[in-house]
Amino acid sequence: MSFLKEIQRRRTFGIVSHPDAGKTTLTEKLLLFGGAIQEAGAVKSNKIKKGATSDFMEIERQRGISVATSVLAFEYDGIKINILDTPGHKDFAEDTFRTLTAVDSVIVVIDVAKGVEEQTEKLVEVCRMRKIPIIVFINKLDREGKDAFDLLDEIEQKLGLRVSPLSFPIGMGYDFKGIYNIWEKNINLFSGDSRKNIEETIEISDLESEELKTIVGEKAANLLREEIELVQGIYPEFDKTEYLEGNLQPVFFGSALNNFGVRELLDCFVEIAPKPRPKQSEERLIKPEEKKFTGFVFKIHANMDPNHRDRLAFIKIVSGEFKRNTPYLHVRLNKKLKFSSPNAFFAEKKQIVDISYPGDIVGLHDTGNFKIGDTLTEGELINYKGIPSFSPEHFRYINNADPLKSKQLNKGIDQLMDEGVAQLFTLDLNGRKVIGTVGALQYEVIQYRLEHEYGAKCTYENLNVYKACWVEVNDQSDPEFEEFKRVKQRYLAKDKQGQLVFLSDSAFSLQMTEQKYPSIKFHYTSEF
């Protein structure tokens, strides 16, 4: 197949939502339809012994939540689909923000009972900022929940989206009869039996026909006609160009656990979702059709295989072909590297690939050369932008609990920080290490992984810090900067890249510092 055809048939997307909205279950069902797995697993269930394919870390299985983004690829109808299942828990949001730099479109999952939740708002805001096309999937329709129109209103108001429903429920909760597919003009009847792979689908081109009454009953038929008329009156008609530009969001209803409405979502997705898109680098816009390979690291995962203690750098291919055993330029280090076993993923199962195309995600074995945001090319000096570190919200000192294992502890902290699990700050005053995270749950994950993957034990000590701000000065020898360093010595630290960071202890103290030293700029992200 030609290079251009390979690009045309790729779709790379992320699934995002609040915890428990059913994102990992939806991923499982998509894999099931793609024939990639024979039986879908559940995230938490004592009856089903099989766990979810995308939750493969030990700690994820114990807790029943996703803590790291996993990459899964499968073929469906001749289309190569790459899914990135992201953590929904806000304590792992940074992993999700970074993953959004590597996807071409997004499916947002919303729980019918809870509606739009705060974590979803944050993630959708990032998608809107980057103009990423979004499809909304309203899940768990077999349970009692909010009215369909109320949900659509909430999505428009809270997420600032313009929605266009492409399917609509017939009844809700206990009265749930099925779904009318506006996109394909057919009805899917719900039997509530998740063991059946696909429910029966009845073609129905005209809602006015008597046939509708015999299928769903007179009351439901009349209600459906009214509601569809309302939908067509209130909401804009679906327009693919508007969707691709990020200005219109199609909405599907379904129940992922019962395999319901998932195939419709997948069929429509394959038809409308964007092919690999161009990406802006600091130097120029890079198009996927360009012959020369370029790509960037958006995630690093240590110890995917506990027996080998390996590190994998996840690379999103932006342009050209990535070939095995070919030397490529690592732009930041300015050295050529070649990779003998690049991996394609199926959750934790990996296969070695000889050639990969734009849109694909490839895992490269890493001995410590990569950091998040690094660019690989065939020789051109370019840097991809847009993978910032955010200011953490929780700060703690990290102490060694086993003096004999300090080497293992340092190595473990070093590797986990490169992975972007949390951020490490070293105080200028006494060299103590401070770990900053987006959520408190991260500390448990770090402690667990240090012990189980590196054989090191650590304890934490609370530290009163309000925000970490990256410091920017035009002139290092400025007397004002010298005074700032002397007065604020206790609060200054370096991040892992050696950049100066001010750890302010309160909002008031930060405000006073900004007023007192007007020539110094303070930033909440490391990319300024």
Task: Give the whole-angstrom CA distance, residue 294 versus residue 281.
Answer: 10
- Please name the residues in contact with 327: beta carbons below 8 A apart, sequence gap of 6 or more: 336, 337, 338
Q: Do domains 3-97+104-272 and 279-377 have the same CATH topology?
A: yes
Q: What is the pLDDT of residue 58?
A: 55
User: Residue 431: beta bridge partners?
Assistant: none
All structural domains of the chain with their residue ranges? 3-97+104-272, 279-377, 394-523
pLDDT in the model for residue 373: 83
CATH class of 3-97+104-272: alpha beta
Q: If DSSP codes are grouped into helix, strand and coil, which group holds residue 400?
A: strand
> What pLDDT was estimated at residue 113?
86
Q: Is the dihedral angle over the CA atoms 68, 74, 76, 78 positive or is it negative?
A: positive
Helices and strands, counts by H and E, the chain: 14, 31
Element (H, E) at 108: strand 105-111
pLDDT, tens only, 39-94: 444 443 333 334 454 444 455 555 444 444 567 888 888 888 888 866 544 545 56
Tokens of 152: 């659509």
Q: Angle, to 10 degrees, between the axis of helix 406-418 and the axis of helix 441-454? A: 130
Task: Return the pLDDT at 21.
Answer: 74
Beta bridge partner(s), residue 272: none
Task: Locate 356 and state its tokens.
Answer: 């990969």
pLDDT of residue 85: 67
Look-up: residue for tokens 């096309």? 133
Q: What is the DSSP string of 255-293?
A: BTTTTBSHHHHHHHHHHHSPPSPPEEBSS-EE-TT-SS-
Alpha helix ranges (H) inside 455-524: 479-487, 507-516
Per-residue pLDDT, 203: 66
* Percentages (nearest 5) of helix, strand, coil residues in the chain: 30, 30, 40
pLDDT at 115: 85
CA distances 477 to 480, 492, 497, 501, Å, are 9, 17, 21, 17
237 phi, psi to nearest 5 deg: -70, 150
Give the per-residue pLDDT at 25: 81
Angle, vertex CA 339, rays to CA 333 and CA 340, nearest 5: 160
Q: What global pTM score does this model have?
A: 0.76
What tens digit of pLDDT does each residue of 367-400 get? 778 888 889 999 888 887 756 666 788 899 999 9
Q: Report the pLDDT value the prediction gives residue 82, as an integer from 0 to 100.
A: 87
Domain boundaries 279-377, CATH class: alpha beta
Task: Spell out a b/e string for 88-101, using b for 16 or more CB atoms within 10 Å of the CB, else e.
Answer: bbbbbbbbbbbbbb
Spans of the chain below 70 pLDDT:
1, 34-70, 85-96, 173, 190-207, 209, 302-310, 345-350, 386-390, 527-528
Domain 394-523 listed as CATH 3.30.70.3280: yes
Closest CA to 389 of 94, 93, 88, 67: 94
